[in-house]
């Protein structure tokens, strides 16, 4: 397995340049997520994407299918990463309608009974996200995600 690194939540041009020079495989920008202190408008994200020498990742949450399609078409990222409670059916429909790769972030369960991962693992590969990321955060720690790893899917 090859480890790849995404530096996420970038908000300043200098940080983008440093992340690219330091060897990040991807750079992520949080776009139009009002609850996030790192959220940028799509115009701000576009200017950061233009500076990247690695594939840009558009990170967002809480959007409708049409909003996600429009945002992806407007910004043309290499990857769209969904961080909300998007159901597998929306992910499957979205994947067929966008040109970029699609990653779905899933929380590391806070309780052993949480099963957010299962519905996505049951989907046939052609209909699922290309990667499922696992994110560790709590409601008290909204300023960032502590752990990210992704498992590329064979599609």
* Domain total of the chain: 1
Q: What is the pLDDT of residues 25-36, one digit of tens each?
A: 999 999 999 988
pLDDT over 60 (residue 90):
yes
Judge contact between 28 and 57, C-beta under 8 A: yes
Any domain includes 68 = yes
With pLDDT > 70 as the criterion, what percentage of the chain qualifies? Answer: 68
Convert the pLDDT of each residue in 30-88 to its tens digit.
999 998 899 999 999 999 999 999 999 999 999 999 999 999 999 999 999 998 888 88
Asked if residue 1 is part of any domain, the answer here is no
Question: What is the domain-level CATH number for residue 40?
Answer: 3.20.20.70
Structural domain of 11: 6-152
Beta strands in 62-140 (DSSP E): 79-82, 101-107, 131-135
pTM exceeds 0.75: yes
The answer as to whether 22 is a domain residue is: yes
Confidence of residue 143 (pLDDT cuts 50, 70, 90): very low
| Cα(81)–Cα(84) distance, integer angstroms | 9
Residue 78 counted as domain residue: yes
pLDDT at site 131: 55
């Amino acid at each position: 397995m090859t480890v790849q690194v995404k530096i996420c939540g970038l908000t300043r041009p200098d940080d983008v340049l440093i992340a690219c020079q330091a060897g990040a495989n991807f750079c992520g920008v949080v776009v139009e997520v009002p609850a996030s202190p790192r959220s940028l408008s799509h115009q701000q994200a576009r200017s950061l994407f233009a500076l990247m020498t690695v594939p840009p990742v558009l990170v967002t949450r809480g959007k409708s299918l049409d909003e996600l399609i429009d945002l992806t078409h407007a910004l043309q990222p290499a990857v769209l990463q969904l961080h909300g409670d998007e159901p597998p059916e929306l992910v499957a429909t979205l994947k067929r309608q966008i040109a970029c790769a699609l990653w779905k972030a899933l929380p590391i369960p806070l309780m052993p009974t949480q099963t957010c991962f299962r519905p996505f693992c049951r989907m046939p590969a052609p209909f699922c996200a290309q990667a499922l990321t696992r994110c560790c955060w709590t409601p008290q720690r909204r300023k960032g995600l502590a752990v990210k790893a992704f498992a590329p899917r064979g599609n």
